[in-house]
């Protein structure tokens, strides 16, 4: 199982970077361009486009939540406007924006923007939405949602994430293991230990889970996970050393 190299902290870095590119570069139809030019090579027309793009971005970023939601729902909104609306909602979004954002989770173009906006919203409806999406999405979109759940540390997600540990998509399985390690409940520790019995690929997630449990004062489940790690002689020496150290701490 190998997690995507573009995903950091639940955010698709490559996709998020497109927002930054779009702030200064749009074509005449207001869609993202894929040309990459140096500043020195920019023409007067390029500079005008840059200025127009910046002005449009500033206008969208100044809108209130209600108008940003309207942009997301409107079929007439440009991709640029929707992306910027999501970016702004990541700062000012509330429960009122959850429905409009969740509708974009399955969109290949805007799913990552929607997650970027949903992650910081301090409302349980976000967690409910992301958990439902676990059974609705596949591939990279599913990996993204799993990472968002991990970022929010949704304790109720341990069971549905555990069902993805044996997913045929290696990236999905790896993301699920990493999420369980970050969520770090006794239940997630049990599920990770079960998978550790037949694959060492979750060892890193087990170690993180045990460390978090120990820091929370949950010594017994942490100790059990450390013991499970040490029962495998084929793990890297660095992992076994950390597990042994953790076990001693849990015992003391």
**18 contacts: CB under 8 Å, gap ≥ 6:** 32, 83
What is the number of structural domains in the chain? 2
H or E element that contains 11: strand 11-12
Q: Are residues 19 and 111 in the same domain?
A: yes
| 177 domain residue, yes or no | no
b/e for 25-64, b at 16 or more Cβ within 10 A? bbeeeeebeeeeeeeeeeeeeeeebbeebeebbeebeebe
**Same domain flag for 71 and 108:** yes
Tell me, yes or no, whether 239 lies in a domain. yes
* 142 and 193 within one domain: no
- How many CA atoms does the CB half-sphere of 95 hold within 13 Å? 4
Same domain, yes or no, for 144 and 190? no
Picking from 137, 156, 175, the residue at the C-terminal end of a domain is: 156
Q: Say whether both 138 and 201 belong to one domain.
A: no
> Under 8 Å CB-to-CB from 35, ≥6 apart: which residues?
25
C-alpha span between 21 and 234 (Å, rounded): 45
Last residue of a domain, one of 109, 137, 156: 156
Beta bridge partners of 8: 11
**Helix, strand, or coil (residue 60):** helix
Same domain, 225 and 129: no
Say whether both 222 and 97 belong to one domain.
Answer: no
> Do residues 80 and 205 share a domain?
no
Residue 223: give the domain boundaries.
Answer: 184-252
Domain harbouring 231, CATH code: 1.25.40
How many CB atoms are located within 10 Å of the residue 106 CB? 16
Between CA 204 and CA 210, with CA 206 as vertex, the angle to 5 degrees is: 120
pTM: 0.77
Please give the chain's pLDDT, 252 residues, in tens: 444 434 434 444 344 434 433 333 333 233 333 333 333 444 555 555 556 568 788 999 999 999 999 999 999 999 999 999 999 999 999 999 999 999 999 999 999 999 999 999 999 999 999 999 999 999 999 999 999 999 999 999 999 999 999 999 999 999 999 999 999 999 999 999 999 999 999 999 999 999 999 999 999 999 999 999 999 999 999 999 999 999 999 998
Are 116 and 15 in the same domain?
Answer: yes
Question: Are residue 53 and residue 110 in the same domain, yes or no?
Answer: yes
Residue 196 covered by a domain: yes
């Amino acid at each position: 199982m190998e997690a995507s190299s573009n995903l950091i902290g639940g955010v698709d870095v490559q996709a998020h970077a497109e927002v930054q590119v779009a702030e200064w570069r749009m074509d005449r139809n207001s869609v993202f361009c894929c040309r990459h030019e140096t500043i020195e090579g920019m023409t007067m027309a390029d500079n005008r486009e840059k200025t127009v793009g910046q002005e449009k971005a500033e206008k969208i970023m100044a809108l209130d939540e209600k108008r940003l939601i309207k942009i997301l729902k409107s079929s007439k909104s440009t991709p640029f406007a929707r992306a910027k609306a999501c970016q702004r909602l990541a700062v000012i979004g509330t429960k009122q924006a959850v429905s409009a954002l969740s509708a974009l989770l399955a969109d290949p173009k805007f799913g990552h923007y929607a997650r970027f906006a949903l992650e910081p919203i301090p409302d349980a409806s976000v967690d409910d939405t992301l958990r439902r999406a676990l059974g609705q999405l596949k591939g990279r979109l599913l990996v993204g949602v799993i990472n968002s759940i991990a970022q929010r540390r949704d304790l109720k997600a341990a069971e549905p994430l555990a069902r993805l540990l044996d997913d045929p998509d290696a990236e999905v399985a790896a993301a699920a293991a990493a999420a369980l390690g970050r969520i770090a409940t006794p239940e997630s520790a049990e599920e990770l230990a079960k998978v550790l019995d037949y694959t060492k690929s979750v060892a890193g997630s087990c170690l993180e889970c045990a460390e978090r449990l120990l820091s929370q004062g949950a010594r017994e489940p942490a100790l059990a996970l450390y013991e499970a790690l040490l029962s495998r002689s084929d793990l890297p020496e660095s992992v076994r050393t950390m597990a042994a150290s953790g076990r001693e701490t849990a015992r003391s």
